[in-house]
Amino acid sequence: MKKYVLVTGGAGYIGSHTIIDIFSNTDYEVISVDNFSNSFEETYQQITDITNKKLISINENLCDKNNLFEKLHPYKNQILGIIHFAAYKSVPESMEHPLKYYYNNIQSLLNIIEFAKENKIQNFIFSSSCSVYGDIKTSPVTENTPLPLPNSPYAHTKQIGEQILHHLITTANYPLKAYSLRYFNPVGAHLSGKTGELPKYNLTGLVPNIIRTALGKIPELHVYGNDYNTKDGTPVRDYIHVCDIASAHVLALQKLLSITTNHFYDTINLGTGKGFTVLEVIKKFEEITHIKLHYKISERRSGDVEAIFANNDKAYEELNWKPVYSLEDMLKSAWEWGKNKY
């Protein structure tokens, strides 16, 4: 009997790279649920081009519980784990449309957890974010760093998602084994050059907009704030290659499968442990490509934090995971992908 990993949001940026890692490093088949609200169905063909394997695609909104359960019903006894990526993810958009984010991100999680419970699927990985740490004042942050009030509705939905899983497993005694993986700033593209980040909307990340500026697609790059308490006044982030994040999901799934207890929950940071300012990333890109970027200092954006980077010791201790790609690798791979797609 085939064994499937159910990946929600599998046509998205991190989801698609994780499916590639599953196909490349395990014998599992993949079912992807995605309604392509901010992604493209052609991503699945890119996955096939890279891996020579095909997934099962289900086009459905995870907030539509009845249709979701009906479409997943034929596979319910063959799913060994769920990796839940599907969510809206733009901090600026969440500030403008908070109810949209609360409804989509929380309802979709509740529905997929209920599907897991009803069908005795015990292994669950939740796509969380370093945004749960809010406007933290000291870095590196560990998984035990107290979580303050979040800076945005998006970040709040990630905090709520983690709390739902924690309480269901530890208090309500749900038979789940789950990790919440807290990503820092994913960038880069698959080294084949055949897939990378390409949302339909909200291309708000620094690196995609660096590439668009370099290509002349936008007249100038906005640097939001240069009056932060950092080495050059611009925000500090922990940038991590998307393929490093993808590999951590496969290791986390394999770890969950090896755990014999029926009730387990933990959180893990996925970052490099190094922080770079916005201007440092811009300068590194200019060094790599020999392209001078036009950028403009703009006002701070609401919801942005000053500086954050990870302590990733726990990921190594529990999953035997360490990031392998440098900032240069991230920018080179993103450039190779983006110059043909942006």
Helix segments in 259-325, DSSP class H: 278-289, 313-319
In sequence order, which residues have a C-beta less than 8 Å from that of residue 80 and are 6 or more positions away?
3, 4, 5, 28, 121, 123, 257
* Residue of 24, 22, 17, 56 whose CA lies nearest to 39: 17
Nearest-angstrom CA–CA distance, 278 and 176: 39
Question: DSSP letter string over 6-33?
Answer: EEETTTSHHHHHHHHHHHHH-S-EEEEE
Name the active-site residue from 4, 13, 154, 179: 154
Strands 29-33 and 185-187: unpaired
Single-letter amino acid code for the residue at 106? I
Nearest-angstrom CA–CA distance, 247 and 107: 27
State yes or no: is 13 an active-site residue.
no
Residues annotated as catalytic are 154
